Chain A
Amino acid sequence: DIQMTQSPTSLSASVGDRVTITCRASQSIGNYLNWYQQKAGKAPKLLIYAASSLQSGVPSGFSGSGSGTDFTLTISSLQPEDFATYYCQQSYKSPTFGQGTKVEIK
């Protein structure tokens, strides 16, 4: 299995902050990388697919970059509704997810 490692595991930030979450794959996965947002008690929501493509309906403040083994999710200006847990997921082979990054209010 391809291992996905996110960092940090959690972070505290304020509304308006720029937030960056990184995700590293245990082997090269090209651009087969997706990002999800999950709020407590809710299903995950697709934010970014193919490393950098914004899913329809997702605010433009979210962006993704990277290829190969290293990827980032950036929130340009954190909004109150963005406090959640974020997961990366590789879709190169049988899908595996990172352990999640919890974004909390500072």
Chain B
Amino acid sequence: EVQLVESGGGLVQPGGSLRLSCAASGFTFSSYEMNWVRQAPGKGLEWVSYISTTGGTIYYADSVKGRFTISRDNAKNSLYLQMNSLRAEDTAVYYCARERPSNRYAFDIWGQGTMVTVSS
């Protein structure tokens, strides 16, 4: 079964850090471009970051640029999001999402999400 499973969410104080992980299974992880997408409570979807198959190309939303770092370990079939200098507005469910081959930013597989709460 093709699956993405996020972990690492939790409660963190403003200014703190958190590292999210996304474990992939059921497909050749190294062949797929990956993304993080978030959803604040009761709100819509917001794209966060993109990473190419090799990790050589990375993009970020302006709202997280300079604070978040996306990475991947193809040997471990894992995607990561290092989040630093967290703000209240970063509170959201964070999803990892696989891109459909040959369709940039069409997300065909999503994880179940992990909740990040930034609060004192």
Contacts and interface: CB of A to CB of B under 8 A. Distances in A.
Interface residues of A, number: 22
Interface stretch (A12-20, A39-47, A63-71, A75-83): A39-47
A60 interface: no
A97 B108 contact: no
Contacts, number: 53
Contacts of A100: 44-45
A50 interface: yes
A96 interface: yes
Q: Which of B95, B106, B107, B113 has the most CB of A within 10 A?
A: B106
A36 B46 CA distance: 13
A43 B112 CA distance: 6
Interface residues of B, number: 18
A98 B100 CA distance: 20
Q: Which secondary structure dominates chain B's binding surface?
A: loop
Interface string A11-33: 00000000000000000000010
A36 B110 CA distance: 11
A87 B45 contact: yes
B61 A46 contact: no
B105 A97 contact: no
Chain A interface main SS type = loop
B103 interface: yes
Contact of B47 (A38, A45, A96): A96
Interface in B95-120: 95, 100, 103-108, 110-113
A96 B113 CA distance: 19
Interface in B24-49: 44-47
23 contacts: A32-B105, A34-B105, A36-B45, A42-B112, A43-B112, A44-B95, A44-B107, A44-B110, A45-B110, A46-B100, A46-B106, A49-B100, A49-B106, A50-B103, A55-B100, A87-B45, A89-B105, A91-B104, A91-B106, A94-B59, A97-B44, A97-B46, A97-B47
